[in-house]
Structure 1
Amino acid sequence: MFHRIRRRAAEPSELQRRSYETYRRMAGQVPPEVERTRATQQPAEPISTADDFLPPDLRVPSHDQLDGRMMPWTQPIVLDGAVVACAGCGAYRDWLILSTRDQIWLRCRQGHQQQEMRLDTAWYNRHAGPADAHHETFEDCLRHLGH
């Protein structure tokens, strides 16, 4: 009995045979609407390509082309519940935060610099706004930021 069921299942049904035959007849055909549309279409004109890159004077250097970035930070920096103070003069506000080589440095108005191990580049990227200028030297950037 089971052997008859298996034999029937191995052969395609009548519906499968008819579907396959219909598919074979239609395989190379194209609908008439497509043929009419192709006949009425005119060859397309070549599209002029435009340079979509910005001019060199408007391009911004990528992060790997910069030696570092810095931003002003006027309010106190609180890390782990304590206010960060300058080791040299005790200042606790009006910082310049420098991000260079995956390190964060704090610079006070007096010019003392200290590395802040509790901050990382991800923190800097979250808090930094867009760059408003690019400078050739560190001193130029300090002058631009008023330090």
Structure 2
Amino acid sequence: MFHRIRRRRAEAEMAEILRRHAEFEARMIAEQGSPYSAATVPEPPAEPAPVVDDFLPPELRVPSHDQVEGRMMPWPWPVVLDDEVVACTECATYRDWLIISTYGQVWLRCRAGHQQLEPRLDTAWFNRHSGPSDATHATFEDCLRHLGH
């Protein structure tokens, strides 16, 4: 029973607050005028704005996928596929790989320079595991030197 009385008092107080607010708003509009009465249309500039290239400067642009031959990343851990550790077919090395993604294929390159195609890996796997590119190189050898191979 008491909660009904409290609820009615709260509703009456809220109605009084809303009434006072409406009166105050009516007085303010009467004194200053409504800010919404006349829509303000911005004036066109006297002279056209200069055309500015809204893109990154050339030194900050990243080449698109069709402008690069491929991507590489170091992989110091063993590559495990289907519960099998992948080893180099020529020297039997199983860690410290350089993983190369090019033309939709993924290649593994060991420290000795032997390369082998890994058909169980794809470009999606490479993209999930590689980080952002930190450099672009003109030649394959430059990239190898950059990655310490």
Normalised to the residue count of structure 1, the TM-score between the two structures is 0.71
Deviation string 1:14-46 (CA, Å, 9 cap, x unpaired) is xxxxxxxxxxxxxxxxxxx977335xx552436
- Which of 70, 73, 81 aligns to 1:71? It is 73
Provide the residue aligned with 1:138 in structure 2. 140
Fraction of identical pairs, as percent: 65
1:1-147 map, 5 Å: 36-38=38-40, 41=41, 43-45=43-45, 50-147=52-149
Measure, in 1, the Cα distance between the counterparts of 2:104 and 2:39.
60
* Post-superposition CA distance 1:95-137 (Å, at most 9, x none): 0000001000000000000000000000001011000000000
For residues 139 and 37 of structure 1, what CA distance do their matches in structure 2 show?
A: 65
Give structure 1 stretches of 5+ with no counterpart: 1-32
Which residue does 1:10 correspond to in 2? Answer: none
Q: Give me the CA root mean square deviation.
A: 2.1
CA distance in 1, matches of 2:70, 2:59: 20
Structure 1 runs of 4+ aligned residues shifted over 6 Å read none
Partner of 2:30: none
